[in-house]
Chain A
Amino acid sequence: MEKIRSIIIDDEAPARDIIKHYLNELDYIEVIAECADGFTGLKSISSMKPDLVFLDIQMPRLTGIEMLEVLTEKPEIIFSTAYDQFAIRAFELNAVDYLLKPFPKRRFLEAVKKAADKIRSGTGKNEPANQLLAKRPDLASPVNRIVVRKGNAINLIPVDQVHYVEAQDDYVMIYHSGGKALKQQTMKFYEENLPKTDFVRIHRSYIVKVAQLNRIEPYGKDNYVAILQSGDKLPVSRSGYKHLKEELNF
């Protein structure tokens, strides 16, 4: 039988070592690469197309979560992290399992077996990130950057540069000072994870940065339209108008 090809992505060498050591005992699995940051990890996954990835979350340049958000073809993922508040997000991202550091060998082998079974049976592979993504904010502090993919390039958009976010079916379009970018994510996620003092949801399909607002004008009966610094016009729903009123105290 062909060996399962795996990559270990963790920025701490001892953490990679223990996974490697545990895997040494399994003859049906091989480690084809080790990466110490999210960016290199993403490149390795794209070029080497492994079956299984052991993924840390907190890493330089790109977190494990952000990596998965921009991966189009996902291998099976086993998260290994010391941060248990990420656990729910990990499952939402279709991880096979997550391991809390430090983990016992028994627990590790269990996770690997689960992954191996899934890979062998060929089920559940390459599923798109599901709608549960934004079920709940995973951290108390708001996001500071949005990672998007443009062709083969990965861009980090600082939240400071975001003007507004527009819903587009399963995606969102992010309008920022450098242009616009499409990303698979939900409005709910951004409503909850963008800094609440800076952004307001003005419509089912729009979240806007307060500082980008130029003026708000009535539009037909009961309706309003927000005009941005850039001149863009966005509809304001009734509840959106209420949010704005609360936020801006008018």
Chain B
Amino acid sequence: MDKYTLLALAILIPSLSAFLCYVFNKPWVRNVIVFVTALLMFAVAGGFVYQLLQSGGKIEINLEDLHLPFDIEFIFKLLDFVLLAIIADIGMKRKKPLIVVLAIIQGVLLLLFELFGSVKEPHVAFVVDYLSLIMLLLVSVIGPLITIFATGYMKEHEHHQHLEKSRQPRFFAILFVFLSAMNGLVLTNNLSWMLLFWEVTTLCSFLLISHDGNEQAVKNGLRALWINMLGGVAFVLAIIFIYNALGTLSVEEIIRSKMTPVGLFPVGLGLLCFAGFTKSAQFPFQSWLLGAMVAPTPVSALLHSSTMVKAGVYLIVRIAPVYSGTTLGMIVALAGAFTFVMASAIAISQSNGKRVLAYSTIANLGLIVCCAGIGSYVALGAAILLMIFHAISKALLFLCVGTIELEIGSRDIEDMQGLFKKMPFTTVIAVIGMISMLLPPFGVLLTKWLALEAAVKFPLVLICIIIGSALTLVFWSQWIGIILTVSYHAKYKMEKLPLAMWITMAILVVAIIVTGVDISMIFKAAVAPFLLESMKGVPETILNGINGLWLVGDSGKVVGGFSSIYFFMILFLLFLLYPYLYRKSKAELLKPPYLCGANTEEDTKGLEFNAPADTVDQVIVHNYYFAGAFGEANLTPWANFIAGAIIMIMFGVVI
């Protein structure tokens, strides 16, 4: 299959499936469509991998070679305005003047740009390099997996909602449009086409967040819409400034131009970073992503892992080589690092599982932005690796929390006490997911380690990352501790999950382990070629040894490194040990926990004790949430204020 067909398939297959899902109402038809689409999307992603390897690292797709019978550029422009009209219409219907105004500003700016700019579109409309390939794989593998999960989940979800008419056709249609737009966004080389895909994801996220249609959902959806529209306005302005300065809209040429202070080019870059911040929910724009929690779980999983928020960091990482080493880069790094530490701090005070995940997402995106801002070879490598590992782990964790919520009817961490007994399968998977977010030898920690080693030269950024990682440890270990709690005479009961749900989780957990073990291979195969291509002549390098990553300093000496494989072996041994220890423990040696000798006789949980006046009381222990020190209400205003100041400084620097 040639590259043109593959490209068309990557964008059109999900769109077609979206249409089919919308038209066909029968659940089994929809399930077949979702499943087939998933397989096709995997195949297309695989096709791109093959093509890229064949072509030696870069595929350039020039649509002019095709001699299309219609003017595709005109279609894209038309779609731009249609989209803005739809968004403005939503703003009118929901009585949100801000959204209407933002849409009109965007429309007017675009119109002026087209009328007076006599814009030369880049010849090469699509470019696939290793970075876009990594993103494509994330979108086209994790995205369809979540969609498959959704087929099982939405049935249960709607069952709880008692709807008269299923709204699933609409739901799955939007999901697929979303995936299609994401594929387009990561493949295109034309900044103005990227804008279209960018705005499609904005619109889709609104539709998905407000899917349940209740007041809270619509309110949060609208907030997501206006914040991302703000980013959209910045994006349009960036296009205008950059085109005026460089005379091109080709992302490739922009990256090659390096940081030349031509006209308003630096401002354009600053605006692109700003757009990235809004999409990636960096402070002070984090509120939309937190609000997105009201949506059905597959939506959260999709927004938080491979799509939407990753679009923002993709843009920032993509243009990182341009501002690498400049003051702008430093400020971007600081903004990211600040988000990392604040989001981690607030996450500690949350007892709502989904909000903990949301803050952790924001924190990790902050770390990616921070690494991109530092922009060195090692830092950029860390940013890309973190994008991969975070996407997989976070997708899995959201699916786990969604599954847990369906079963126990709560997303509060405190309600998950003793989950291991009720849902052993989900619990084990969730624990692996959480461990993969914070402990070695898994990928996320390795990237944190790389980030720390890359940030050593920047004290302010460094201290943020250091404190942030200490805070991260707190909420994850508390959560793991809660769900692994087992009473002393536990009766394990295997949970019954729909096939679509447990198989997705199983695939993702295998993906976590495989990517974690193969980190050096991933780095060698996909990340290093991109870094070599985009950062020519940089002395510091990462060597990938046989079983780990190693850092080589200026003098050619190894300055840091880690053989993750041995630690996977230790973990694996521990895992094998469990059945053995379980069998060795005899029932008569099981004793209740110590309650000052006041345990009641017939209690099997180890919770009840004889209280004064011959009553029986229960032990209740909560985690520490430090609401006073890290409370959301206390920290958020200050954090927003400082983050706003950092963004001001960013623009002050580039102007």
Real complex partners, A and B?
no
Residues of B within 8 A of A (CB): none
